[in-house]
Amino acid sequence: MAGNFKRLFNFLALFSFVSVACFVLVLFYSRRSFEQVAKLLAKKIEASNKSSEMAPTPSAVSLTLGPCPDNPPDLVGPLLVEFDFGRTWEHVRKEVSPLLQKGGRFKPKDCVAKQKVAIIIPFRNRHEHLKHWLYYLHPILKRQLVDYGVYVINQDGEGVFNRAKLMNAGYVEALKEYDYDCFLFSDVDLVPLNDRNLYRCFDNPRHLAIGMDKFNFDLPYKTFFGGVASLYKHQYLKINGFPNTYWGWGGEDDDIYKRIVLRGMQVSRPDLLTGRYRMIKHQRDVHNDPNPKNPDKLFQTHWTMNADGINSLKYTVKSIEKDILYTFITVDIGSPE
Ligand code: UDP
Ligand code: BGC
Ligand code: MN
């Protein structure tokens, strides 16, 4: 009996010892794994803190930025515009360059612009005018919260000038660079007198320069479409772009107006106070005399527009220069046939 009791006692003692040993072992390992988990967590937290200290990537920014407001808050309305001939390029560059990217590009930094606007300027030998245009327009466009680029399309050589063909070339060249959805065409000598005249696109092709000082701040005639105009890409394509065959001064803007109406669209305009402009006074340029053939061509727009436009455009690029204030593209557009 006593032997049995002793055996039972030994068995219980061994069992308790093994249980305690197992318990200690489990405790020891579970503590280690707890420490490991804690260490891992601490590492993760440290890493995420570090990444939030780093500059956010552009894609991360656009994920969090909201769309730009339809009525940009920094617009001031009427502007004082004076073409001070003492204004130097150095001064313009210093005033206007901040926040611009090479090639005359800008994007609002606190919101996502709703439109990507290519600004196309037909050009030859008007550097003095370009200086004033850049001086006034860049600050206005920045306040208007536009995602934009400025493309000066320079006609190569001394041949007859062709404004509309240069604008077609500008459309093609700008699209090679960025996914623009809106195209704004501006003469180099026109500066708006009100920053509420928005340089963007609208439900219909837009004529912006409705009240030029040289026309007593009024339209010279009801269907005038000259100076500054904007079209969405799809509106521009609907009219087969602009005519390539208006060499010399006059008529090409009237042809564009006709194309718009013939394709069932209307022309959108600001009101007469908002649409005021100042034009830098100038003589008619050489190789840009009024072309007597141009007015007659307007009777044929309804059928010429199908074959004369973006679908028949031919030109060659001679050079592309990237300034901080603009992209300057020299093109050979040929001569009248
Ligand atoms: N232009 C140019 N160089 C020229 C002729 C014309 O740069 O030799 C461009 C410039 O953008 C100008 C636009 O074409 O503003 C329209 O020409 P212009 O100013 O002579 O026409 P206006 O509307 O004054 O009659
Ligand atoms: C011409 C247009 C020009 C307008 C105003 C018209 O006779 O055809 O090209 O813009 O006059 O000068
Ligand atoms: Mn002019």
Across 39-48, 55-64, 79-88, least confident range = 39-48
Mean pLDDT of the chain: 88
What confidence score (pLDDT) does residue 61 get?
Answer: 53
Checking if the pLDDT of 55 tops 70, the result is: no
> What mean pLDDT comes out for the span 127-146?
98
More confident residue, 325 or 13: 325
Checking if the pLDDT of 16 tops 50, the result is: yes
Say if 8 falls within a structural domain. Answer: no
> What mean pLDDT comes out for the span 284-288?
97
Q: Is the CB of 187 under 6 A from ligand 2?
A: no
Four-CA torsion 83, 85, 86, 90, nearest 10 degrees: 80
Q: Is the CB of 288 under 6 A from ligand 1?
A: yes
Say if 48 falls within a structural domain. Answer: no
The CATH number for 114's domain is 3.90.550.10
Say if 159 falls within a structural domain. Answer: yes
Cite the active site residues.
187, 189, 249, 252-253, 279, 282, 284
Candidate of 288, 294, 330, 331 to mutate for ligand 1, largest count of ligand atoms within 8 Å of Cβ: 288
Q: How far is the CA of 187 from the centre of ligand 1 (A)?
A: 6
Say if 66 falls within a structural domain. Answer: no
Q: Is the CB of 278 under 6 A from ligand 1?
A: no
pLDDT tens digits for range 215-274: 999 999 999 999 999 999 999 999 999 999 999 999 999 999 999 999 999 999 999 999
Say if 42 falls within a structural domain. Answer: no
Ligand nearest to the CA of 187: 1
The rounded distance, in Å, linking the Cα atoms of 201 and 118 is 11
Q: Is the CB of 243 under 6 A from ligand 2?
A: no
- Binned at pLDDT 50, 70 and 90, residue 337 comes out as confident
Say if 258 falls within a structural domain. Answer: yes
Q: Is the CB of 147 under 6 A from ligand 2?
A: no
- Binned at pLDDT 50, 70 and 90, residue 324 comes out as very high
Checking if the pLDDT of 44 tops 60, the result is: no
Three-state secondary structure string covering the chain: CHHHHHHHHHHHHHHHHHHHHHHHHHHHHHHHHHHHHHHHHHHHHHHHHHHHHCCCCHHHHHHHCCECCCCCCCCCCECCCCCCCCCCHHHHHHHHCCCCECCCEECCCCCECCCEEEEEEEECCCHHHHHHHHHHHHHHHHHCCCEEEEEEEEECCCCCCCHHHHHHHHHHHHHHHCCCCEEEEECCCEEECECCCCCCCCCCCEECCCEEHHHCCECCCCCCCCCEEEEEHHHHHHCCCCCCCCCCECCHHHHHHHHHHHCCCCCECCCCCCCEEEECCCCCCCCCCECCHHHHHHHHHHHHCCCCCHHHCCCEEEEEEECCCCEEEEEECCCCC
Percent of the chain scoring above 90 in pLDDT: 80
Checking if the pLDDT of 26 tops 60, the result is: no
Checking if the pLDDT of 1 tops 50, the result is: no
> What mean pLDDT comes out for the span 58-86?
87
Say if 206 falls within a structural domain. Answer: yes
More confident residue, 16 or 71: 71
Residue 209 CB coordination number (10 Å)? 25
Checking if the pLDDT of 165 tops 60, the result is: yes
Ligand nearest to the CA of 161: 1
Checking if the pLDDT of 15 tops 70, the result is: no
> What mean pLDDT comes out for the span 149-178?
99
Domain that holds residue 323: 98-332
Across 38-42, 79-83, 174-178, 325-329, least confident range = 38-42
> What mean pLDDT comes out for the span 29-57?
42
Across 33-47, 246-260, 301-315, least confident range = 33-47
Residues forming beta bridges with residue 149, ordered by sequence position: 105, 118
Percent of the chain scoring above 70 in pLDDT: 81
Q: How far is the CA of 296 from the centre of ligand 2 (A)?
A: 13
- For the chain, the domain total comes to 1
Ligand nearest to the CA of 215: 2
Ligand 1 atom 20 nearest Cα: 284
Say if 238 falls within a structural domain. Answer: yes
Q: How far is the CA of 195 from the centre of ligand 1 (A)?
A: 23
- Binned at pLDDT 50, 70 and 90, residue 85 comes out as confident
What confidence score (pLDDT) does residue 62 get?
Answer: 56
Q: Is the CB of 250 under 6 A from ligand 2?
A: yes
What confidence score (pLDDT) does residue 152 get?
Answer: 99
Q: How far is the CA of 189 from the centre of ligand 3 (A)?
A: 6
User: Across 8-22, 35-49, 174-188, which has the greatest mean pLDDT?
Assistant: 174-188
Checking if the pLDDT of 177 tops 50, the result is: yes
